[in-house]
Structure 1
Amino acid sequence: MNVAQYPLNEIMQELIITAKKAGNAIMDVYNSDDFNVQIKGDDSPLTRADLAAHHIIIERLQARFPDIPCLSEESTDLTFAERKSWQQCFIIDPLDGTKEFIARNDDFTVNIALVTNHKPVAGVIYAPVLDTVYYAAENEGAFKQVKDEAPTKISVRKLQKKNGQNHFTVVASRRHGLEKVETLCQNFSSYDLTSRGSSLKMCLVAEGKADLYPRLAPTSEWDTAAAQAIVEQAGGQLLQLDFSEMAYNQKESLLNPFFLVLGDPEFDWKASLVVS
């Protein structure tokens, strides 16, 4: 399959519209009394909001960009034999943070990425409860838009100082791998640790509200593809623990290795982090 020749800004605008429409469908379920929670084969939950968002996204993207295949969390029956020839695809998490959704704590998002030659080149993350969208496209920068306000460009920040020492704001998953993150933080003489759900953790690094997000628990490619595009266009990095680059749709398993989301590009993270 060749790379489809759609203008990237055209794709970006459609991804934003599609993510918001999926978010509206999610909110219809969120504001109801019936989530219809099921348990999938990997013990993760599935609600009718996941499925409603999935169908909206797939139908819209396939109609608008028929030459670009879709890989969604809810379409994992696709085999590697079918998708290994894809040079380009959309990678989609219709509802990232389903456990947060079920717990009604508002930390859930819609994630859509465009991946070309195994690299995310555009990404949208929409938080329906907050009515906030983060988005980025290659060579265009990263942006945040809250409700109907004008979009603002976002970027990672330089490390802060506290009592003359580098001070790290570290963000961690509310539900996964917190003990390992606390151990990693012992690398730092000054830090604070906060927890959030879904891909909003990576957005905090991208918009300069956190410096580091270590993910030391399992994730899948649809959890990170959109966020990686946003973090990178904001000046940060999303890297495997050995500081090599992440790649997408390049192997049979869609599970990610553990990874680090890094802010300040001038800081020597490799020399400062010991990850076991």
Structure 2
Amino acid sequence: MPAPEEMMPVMREAAVAAGRLALALRENGLLAESKADDSPVTQADRAAEAIISEALAGHWPQIPVVAEEACAIALPDCDPDAPFFLVDPIDGTREYICGREEFTVNIALVTGRYPVAGVVYAPALDELFEGSPAGAFRRRGAEEAEAIRVRRAAGPIVALASRSHRTAQTNRFLEMLGPAEIVAMGSSLKFCRLAEGAADVYPCFGKTMEWDTAAAQAVLEAAGGAVVDAADARLSYGKGAGGRPDYRNPFFLARGNVTVRM
């Protein structure tokens, strides 16, 4: 297998192609359905996932692809200790359906149960974020890639909170933290705003799946941040393999250069 940073061009191209297709399909009108867990899905989710899965399998057929819509049908046979991809073709489907800009395409490479490379593309904003051993970078439109880094919070903390899935437990945590500002935002874009130094912390006390977070975790960690569970341990992956019914995450805290804990 190539080094993770050498795989980034294919991951970038697949994410951008999937994201542009999702935008085009939204402009033509969408039919939304509900999956078994009552989460929404559209034809764009499935079409974008097909583009990504085909691109990854075409270059690295030996690496399993764990993708959200395929997992809604059946879990793949995947060794969690071996390399695998995690794919969310449209993260923030509710935002996508409502016509908002805060939805993303997520592709991550997981090795040894941790994300080592990830691409997050926000099609409506034309912003692409990536993280690997080579560092964390942001691309805006046709601009050159720019290195990004979390900021050191010199004053009151700025917190991000889910727009669609904010819970009472999240509100209690934010009240205890007492941030100077709380910004509501959808999708994995929250991790990327931490990575570029626009905010300091994102607590999640709601339901998320591994494909929702892996790519963005790779970006944030490459930028100097962290994603940790209630024990302050690094968020790991592959928990849904080996017969478990899903790839559900525990509650977690994504943070920049701050000492906040759950």
TM-score w.r.t. the length of structure 2 is: 0.94
Classify the secondary structure of the residue corresponding to 1:160.
Answer: coil
Q: Cα distance 1:190–1:83, how it changes in 2: closer, same or farther (>3 A)? A: closer
Helix, strand or coil for the counterpart of 2:102? Answer: coil
- Match for residue 263 of structure 1 among 243, 249, 256: 256
Is 1:98 aligned to residue 93 of structure 2?
A: yes
User: Residue 230 of structure 2 is aligned with which of 238, 241, 252?
Assistant: 241
Shift of 1:8: 2.3
Residue type of the partner of 1:262?
R
Question: CA offset at residue 245 of structure 1?
Answer: 1.8
1:214 counterpart = 2:203: yes
* Mapped partners of 2:219, 2:122: distance in 1: 14
Question: Which of 19, 29, 50 matches 1:23?
Answer: 19
Describe the SS at the equivalent of 1:222: helix
- Please state if 1:150 is matched with 2:144: yes
> What amino acid does structure 2 have at the position aligned with 1:257?
P
Structural mapping, 1:110-121, within 5 Å = 110-121=105-116
Matched, 1:83 2:72: no
Query: Shift of residue 156 of structure 1?
Result: 0.6
User: CA offset at residue 269 of structure 1?
Assistant: 2.2
- For this pair of structures, how many residues does the alignment match? 257
| Structure-to-structure mapping, 1:66-215, within 5 angstroms | 66-76=61-71, 77-79=73-75, 82-84=77-79, 87-138=82-133, 140-161=134-155, 167-215=156-204
Q: Which moved more, 1:7-16 or 1:92-101?
A: 7-16
TM-superposed deviation, 1:268: 2.9
Given that residues 238 and 247 in structure 2 are in contact (C-alpha distance below 8 angstroms), is that contact kept between their aligned partners in structure 1?
Answer: yes
CA distance in 2, matches of 1:98, 1:189: 30
The match for 2:247 is 254
Does the 8 A contact of 1:237 with 1:262 survive in 2? Answer: yes
C-alpha separation between the residues in 2 aligned to 1:54 and 1:188?
38
Q: Match of 1:172, SS?
A: strand
**Contact 2:104–2:188 (CA<8 Å) still a contact in 1?**
yes
Change in 2 beyond 3 A, CA 1:55/1:200: same
C-alpha displacement of 1:78 = 4.1
> Are positions 1:53 and 2:11 aligned together?
no
Separation of aligned partners in 2, 1:90 and 1:198: 19
Instruction: Find the residue that maps to 2:183 and give its secondary structure.
Output: strand
Q: Given the two structures, how large is their TM-score scaled by the length of structure 1? A: 0.89
Q: Structure 2: which 5+ runs fail to align?
A: none
Aligned residue number for residue 63 of structure 1? 58
Letter in 2 for 1:254: Y
Equivalent residue runs for 1:30-45 within 5 Å: 30-33=26-29, 35-45=30-40
Counterparts of 2:18 and 2:67 in 1: how far apart (Å)? Answer: 13
Mapped partners of 1:46, 1:238: distance in 2: 27
Gaps of 5+ in 1: 162-166
Cα displacement (A) at 1:178: 4.4
CA distance in 1, matches of 2:130, 2:217: 11
SS of residue matched to 2:202: strand
Alignment correspondent of 2:219 = 230
Structure 1 pair 247–7 and aligned structure 2 pair: CA distance change class (3 A): same
Report deviation, 1:181. Answer: 2.5
Report the CA distance between 1:68 and its aligned residue.
0.9
AA of the residue aligned to 1:26: A
Question: CA offset at residue 179 of structure 1?
Answer: 3.4
